[in-house]
Amino acid sequence: MANNPSILLIYPPVAKPCEPPAGVARLARVLRAGGVDCRVYDASQDGLLALLQLPLEAEDTWSHRALIHREDHLAALRSPDLYRQADRYKRAVMDVNRALQLAGQPAGVAISLANYGSKDLSPVRSRDLLRAAETFEANPFFPSFSNKLTALFRDREPAIVGFSINFMSQALCAFAMIGFIRSRFPATRIVCGGGLVTSWMHIPGVGNPFQGLVDDLVAGPGEAALLTMAGGHPPGTDTGPSYDYAAFDRARYLAPRPVLPYSTSRGCYWRKCAFCPEKAEKSDYRPMAPAAVADDLAVLAGASRPLIHFLDNALSPRLLAHLIDNPPGAPWYGFVRVTPHLADPDFAAGLRAAGCVMLKLGVESGDQDVLDALSKGVDIATVSAVLNNLKTAGIATYVYLLFGTPAEDLARARRTLDFTLAHAHAIDFLNLAVFNLPAYSEEAAALPTVPFYDGDLSLYREFAHPQGWQRDQVRRFLSGEFKKPAPIRTILQNDPPFFTSNHAAFFRMRL
Ligand code: SF4
């Protein structure tokens, strides 16, 4: 190990500070098993908590209250009691978020627990990202990341720094950090990967728009590329767990018990839904052997009984059946496709007994024609049976609906409203989204489009809706009609602000 270059992996702000970053933990595991000296730095969690320590001025009563109580709120967000009182929880989250807003104001940026927005710089324009790198001292996280990076480099200078950039909310701060490292430690090799970088690299002709600043952009899983750069050896017959979370300070995350993010597969076993990047990017489906998942979870979960957050695009029925027979010994939740298995009372009861507290379901629409046009492979009667069955089994449901798809019109959107009302008793949480047309999907080629955001890294395009059901009409329908009935308002009020599904399960489990 001594002769290999060392690597520092960074998770930049802003991402929800409630669980450690799985992609970084996975890379760290593979690199260490390959003999590479690898350290990790969750700059998002660290940076957000540092902002919340700043001495700040309040001009109104709410801000004053938020600043006075921020330490108490942070402590409460890490304790079970708060998750038994929805109103207190919401107040704590909104106050903490208010304090973050105040911390961003001097720099002219909007910081929240889940987002980062600048009025001057856009994360979908490469020239703005380069500008963020040039003006790194103006970034509100600069004091925390410059101190931490300086200490890490002083301790042991890494030859390679890898950034895991998964969300648009991380891009501008990632580039500010890159600008700092380039300016202070110019010999460092800088590598960027993660979900957002992977999507950028699928933009035709994009190349590396950050030449001279970023040395390498890696699409897809980064293990092999980083191992090669660092001169590590393939892990070989090493059979340890797939993630290394040991270096993350679990006690600092805003959750009432540790969360263990874990993926049993890459890609999606279905890979047919229209507009889905898994289909457009033709990603392979690579599941782990179920027995290996069970072994892994037994080691990773240990005695701490974390909440397991399955990150798979969709947990396969085969894996679910394995979990029923081999419960992981800790509560868990994740995304599933709606399949007939879930309408089977014994299967659902088995899932519940195996620790399943919540399932996330991409229902998308209550109209069969829309579901067929999206190639969801689901019939609406099965969706109905699944929701009722999961309710009976005691498994909470987090339902995702998508409005404004090309096959939808007002009448079909109203069918989704009727379906939701008819199943409101069986829906715990609802996510309502307005459809964005992925710019490089197969289906986009058949629609007349114009750029959605002005930016070379924009992943979406505006389109002329075939039924004239445009985004502003969809939004008016959602606010003026869909969200009005009391049963739907009640479900929407259940949604944890900012943390959404990452905290939802805590409200449906014994803590
Ligand atoms: S199930 Fe989800 S990930 Fe799989 S193809 Fe459909 S939308 Fe994509």
Residue nearest to atom 3 of ligand 1 (CA): 313
Ligand 1: residue of 263, 266, 271 to mutate (most ligand atoms within 8 A of CB) is 271
**Distance from the alpha carbon of residue 278 to the mean position of ligand 1, in angstroms:** 7
Helices (H), ranges, 402-460: 410-422
Name the 3-class secondary structure at 373: helix
CB contact set of 421 (below 8 Å; sequence gap of 6+): 485, 487, 488
- Per-residue HEC secondary structure of 315-342 comes to CCHHHHHHHHHCCCCCCEEEEECCCHHH
**Distance from the alpha carbon of residue 227 to the mean position of ligand 1, in angstroms:** 30
Ligand 1 pocket, 461 CB below 6 A?
no
Ligand 1: residue of 199, 272, 316 to mutate (most ligand atoms within 8 A of CB) is 272
Backbone CA torsion sign across 463, 466, 472, 475? negative
Query: What is the per-residue pLDDT for 1?
Result: 47
CB 141 within 8 A of CB 43: yes
CA distances from 213 to 41, 129, 179 (A): 20, 11, 8
- Given the DSSP bridges, would you call strands 437-438 and 449-451 parallel, antiparallel or unpaired? unpaired
Using only C-alpha atoms, the chain has a radius of gyration, in whole angstroms, of 23
Instruction: Using the structure block, give the residue that is written with the tokens 């009935």.
Output: 485
Atom of ligand 1 nearest to the CA of 313: 3
The model's pTM: 0.96
Name the 3-class secondary structure at 364: strand
Query: What is the per-residue pLDDT for 239?
Result: 67
| Rounded CA separation 264/259 (Å) | 16
**Distance from the alpha carbon of residue 364 to the mean position of ligand 1, in angstroms:** 11
Ligand 1 pocket, 276 CB below 6 A?
yes
Residue nearest to atom 8 of ligand 1 (CA): 276
Ligand 1 pocket, 313 CB below 6 A?
yes
| Rounded CA separation 163/197 (Å) | 10
Residue 203 parent element (H or E): none
Nearest partner of 5 among 41, 38, 29, judged by Cα: 38
Backbone CA torsion sign across 140, 146, 152, 157? positive
Neighbours of 434 (CB within 10 A): 14
Peptide bond into 124 cis (omega under 30): no
- Rounded to whole angstroms, the maximal C-alpha distance in the chain is 66
In terms of Cβ atoms closer than 10 Å to its own Cβ (0-12, 13-18, 19+), residue 450 is exposed
Query: What is the per-residue pLDDT for 4?
Result: 67
Nearest partner of 431 among 336, 335, 495, 359, judged by Cα: 495
Q: Which residue(s) pair with 432 in the sheet? A: 401
337: left (phi over 0), alpha (psi -120 to 50) or beta: beta
| Rounded CA separation 208/201 (Å) | 8
Ligand 1 pocket, 363 CB below 6 A?
no
CB 407 within 8 A of CB 375: no
Ligand 1: residue of 268, 399, 405 to mutate (most ligand atoms within 8 A of CB) is 268
CB 390 within 8 A of CB 423: no
Ligand 1 pocket, 29 CB below 6 A?
no
**Distance from the alpha carbon of residue 338 to the mean position of ligand 1, in angstroms:** 11
Atom of ligand 1 nearest to the CA of 279: 5
Atom of ligand 1 nearest to the CA of 337: 1
- Alpha carbon 289 to chain centroid, angstroms: 24
Query: What is the per-residue pLDDT for 431?
Result: 98
Ligand 1: residue of 269, 270, 436 to mutate (most ligand atoms within 8 A of CB) is 270
Backbone CA torsion sign across 265, 306, 53, 38? negative
CB crowding 138-156: b at 16 or more within 10 Å, else e: bbbbbebbbebbeebbeee
CB contact set of 186 (below 8 Å; sequence gap of 6+): none
What are the per-10-residue average pLDDT scores of the chain (511 residues)? 79 98 96 95 98 92 94 98 97 98 95 97 97 98 98 96 98 98 97 96 92 96 93 77 93 97 95 87 87 91 90 97 95 98 98 98 98 96 98 98 97 98 98 92 80 82 90 97 98 98 96 88
Name the 3-class secondary structure at 28: helix
CB 330 within 8 A of CB 300: no
CA angle at residue 382 from 381 to 387, to 5 degrees? 105
- Backbone dihedral angles phi then psi of residue 33, each to the nearest 5 degrees: -65, -25
Ligand 1 pocket, 362 CB below 6 A?
yes
CB crowding 79-109: b at 16 or more within 10 Å, else e: eeebbeeeeebebbbbbbbbbbebbbeeeeb
Nearest partner of 1 among 40, 31, 41, judged by Cα: 31
Nearest partner of 446 among 438, 456, 454, judged by Cα: 438
CA distances from 427 to 78, 387, 396, 400 (A): 26, 7, 7, 10
